[in-house]
């Protein structure tokens, strides 16, 4: 007697069954099933969600954002500036060559409004500034010869000398003397500064659309010689008064001139190139860029020196300048109709409308009091019958990728098969007997109330004989 083959372990058998099940499920096909639920509240939610999505895409995406256009941001830009005007301080008259730094006329420049002057500095030895750390002393022992403080004004000599004024003493340094704090004189240049005029010449170019434009009107009647900027009447006269720029930035001119600050002149070119070029106009805005409420970083100043010789020795005048720095910033965006972004956004809008169905399905299958009935109606599993050999309609259905049709129409009456066989039809195939109809129809309507006279199965509905009639072999062959 042959020995029985050993059975595989239970775990191996379970793994094989799982693998076969996954492989079989991989080739399943899922198709939506249409169920009409007669529930007014659910219908209101569904239509409301669809309406909100539709309004979002129509109003915000297409009207506000203009997503039907191809866009380009960051235009190629050039800026040329020119300042004109004169002012005076306590000691002299200042012209534009002296108070504008740098003089090249770029997009960033400074207008000096107050200075602290330390004249006649020469190389020598003098008392260190009291603002420098560990600069005060009582005797020479408190000063270390050769010590160099990075925040100081020179190399220490090791001597303790009297300060420039008062009874205090500081360590002596070798450098440019006298130091800034000991002999500086303050001068205010801001008396006439609000009337300075600033010409800002700007040209932009969008290479994607080959579009260029400037902010100056092309006129030959000397228009720029007697105009100043006005947002309505003189938009293309980019000549601004310094006082107007500071006022539009919301600042006090006197305070800003004493402490200094940074003002941004922002030119925005937002152009809809579906319209004419005359509709593409610059928009100007002004705001302060440095944090004025932070004492450690507010204000603006810088130092420079003027060198000359007196009796053969090099002498300089050190100037600490406070001023208003102007930063001209240009940005913008141009858009023009394009078919590709239009199709993409339309497809996104149509796809997003399906969110309403997903939300209502979730409510239907989670919160409704008959969710199990709805779930039973919504999800069906259909197994196709095995093909019959020698039936060419079945072979045709397999080639078309459809489920094999039954040999002839299904019938709820098993006696119908005998009647059909007795009719003597001239067909090229035999008609086998019918099988029972399936218990669920492909499309049903559901009412959110139990049917009158229904039994315990609230969701079960008897399919009509017309719905369960399947296509016969001759109708399939006519495909």
Q: Is pLDDT above 90 for 367? A: no
Q: Is pLDDT above 50 for 472? A: no
Query: In this predicted model, which residue has the larger pLDDT, 219 or 348?
Result: 348
* Strand pairing report for 108-127 and 100-101: antiparallel
pLDDT at 478: 40
Phi, psi at 20, each rounded to 5°: -65, -40
The percent of residues in the chain predicted with pLDDT above 70, rounded, is 76
Q: What number of other Cβ atoms are within 10 A of residue 202's Cβ?
A: 22
Q: Is pLDDT above 70 for 250? A: yes
Model confidence over 253-282: pLDDT tens digits?
999 999 999 999 999 999 999 999 999 999
Which tokens belong to 204?
């932009």
Query: In this predicted model, which residue has the larger pLDDT, 30 or 419?
Result: 30
pLDDT at 418: 44
pLDDT at 221: 74
Phi, psi at 18, each rounded to 5°: -65, -40
Compute the C-alpha angle 14/18/22, nearest 5°: 170
Q: Is pLDDT above 60 for 465? A: no
> What is the pLDDT confidence band of residue 26, given thresholds at 50, 70 and 90?
confident
- Among 66-70, 324-328, 465-469, the minimum mean pLDDT is found in 465-469
pLDDT at 260: 93
Q: Is pLDDT above 70 for 306? A: yes
Which tokens belong to 141?
């022992």
pLDDT at 402: 52
Q: Is pLDDT above 50 for 231? A: yes
The radius of gyration of the chain's CA atoms, rounded to the nearest angstrom, is 45
pLDDT at 373: 74
> What is the pLDDT confidence band of residue 5, given thresholds at 50, 70 and 90?
low
pTM (two decimals)? 0.66
pLDDT at 165: 84
> What is the pLDDT confidence band of residue 437, given thresholds at 50, 70 and 90?
very low
> What is the pLDDT confidence band of residue 124, given thresholds at 50, 70 and 90?
very high
Cα–Cα distance measured from residue 440 to residue 453, given in angstroms and rounded to the nearest whole number? 20
Model confidence over 136-151: pLDDT tens digits?
999 999 999 999 888 8
CB 223 within 8 A of CB 217: yes
CB 73 within 8 A of CB 332: yes
> What is the pLDDT confidence band of residue 21, given thresholds at 50, 70 and 90?
confident
* Burial (Cβ within 10 Å: 0-12, 13-18, ≥19) of residue 32: exposed
Cα–Cα distance measured from residue 189 to residue 322, given in angstroms and rounded to the nearest whole number? 10
The answer to whether the peptide bond before residue 329 is cis (omega within 30 degrees of 0) is: no
Cα–Cα distance measured from residue 123 to residue 178, given in angstroms and rounded to the nearest whole number? 9
* Residue partners of 357: CB distance under 8 A and separation at least 6: 46
The mean pLDDT value of the chain amounts to 80
Cα–Cα distance measured from residue 235 to residue 228, given in angstroms and rounded to the nearest whole number? 9
Q: Is pLDDT above 60 for 18? A: yes
Query: In this predicted model, which residue has the larger pLDDT, 10 or 247?
Result: 247
Q: What is the mean pLDDT of residues 386-410?
A: 50
Q: Could you tell me the maximum CA-CA distance found in the chain, to the nearest angstrom?
A: 139
Query: In this predicted model, which residue has the larger pLDDT, 298 or 420?
Result: 298
Cα–Cα distance measured from residue 86 to residue 102, given in angstroms and rounded to the nearest whole number? 17
- Among 33-47, 195-209, 222-236, 439-453, the minimum mean pLDDT is found in 439-453
Q: Is pLDDT above 90 for 324? A: yes
């Amino acid at each position: 007697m042959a020995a029985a083959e050993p059975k595989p372990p239970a775990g191996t058998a379970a793994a094989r069954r799982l693998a076969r099940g996954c492989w079989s499920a991989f080739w399943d096909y899922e198709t939506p099933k249409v169920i009409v639920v007669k529930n007014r509240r659910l219908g209101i939610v569904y239509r409301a969600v669809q309406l909100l999505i539709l309004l979002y895409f129509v109003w915000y995406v297409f009207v506000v954002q203009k997503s039907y256009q191809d866009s380009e941001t960051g235009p190629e830009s050039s800026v040329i500036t020119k300042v004109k005007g004169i002012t005076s301080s306590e000691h002299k008259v200042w012209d534009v060559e002296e108070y504008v730094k740098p003089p090249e006329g770029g997009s960033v420049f400074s207008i000096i409004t107050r200075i602290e002057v330390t004249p006649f500095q020469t190389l020598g030895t003098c008392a260190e500034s009291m603002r420098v750390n560990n600069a005060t002393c009582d005797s020479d022992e408190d000063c270390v010869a050769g010590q160099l403080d990075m925040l100081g004004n020179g190399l220490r000599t090791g001597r303790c000398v009297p300060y420039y004024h008062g009874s205090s003493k500081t360590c002596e340094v070798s450098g440019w003397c006298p130091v800034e704090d000991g002999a500086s004189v303050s001068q205010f240049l801001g008396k006439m500064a609000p009337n300075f005029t600033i010409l800002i010449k700007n040209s932009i170019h969008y290479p994607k659309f080959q579009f260029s434009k400037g902010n100056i009107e092309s006129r030959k009647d000397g228009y720029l010689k007697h105009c100043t900027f006005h947002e309505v009447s003189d938009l293309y006269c980019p000549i601004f008064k310094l006082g107007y720029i500071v006022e539009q930035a919301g600042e006090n001119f006197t305070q800003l001139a004493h402490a200094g600050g940074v003002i941004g002149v922002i030119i925005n070119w937002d152009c809809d190139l579906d319209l004419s070029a005359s509709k593409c106009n610059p928009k100007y805005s002004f705001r302060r860029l440095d944090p004025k409420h932070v004492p450690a970083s507010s204000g603006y100043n810088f130092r420079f020196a003027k060198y000359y010789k007196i009796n053969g020795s090099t002498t300089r005048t050190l100037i600490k300048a406070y001023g208003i720095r102007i930063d001209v910033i240009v940005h913008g965006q141009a858009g023009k109709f394009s078919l590709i972004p239009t199709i993409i956004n339309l497809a996104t809008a149509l796809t997003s409308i399906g969110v309403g169905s997903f939300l209502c399905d979730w409510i239907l299958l989670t919160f409704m009091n008959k969710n199990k009935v709805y779930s039973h109606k919504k999800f069906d599993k259909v197994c196709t019958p095995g093909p019959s050999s020698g039936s060419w309609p079945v072979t045709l259905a397999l080639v078309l990728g459809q489920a094999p049709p039954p040999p002839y129409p299904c019938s709820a009456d098993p006696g119908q098969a005998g009647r059909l066989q007795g009719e003597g039809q001239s067909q090229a195939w035999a008609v086998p007997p019918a099988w029972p109809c399936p218990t669920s129809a492909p499309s049903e309507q559901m009412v959110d109330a139990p049917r009158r006279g229904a039994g315990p199965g609230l969701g079960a509905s008897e399919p009509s004989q017309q719905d369960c009639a399947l296509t016969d072999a001759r109708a399939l062959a006519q495909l």
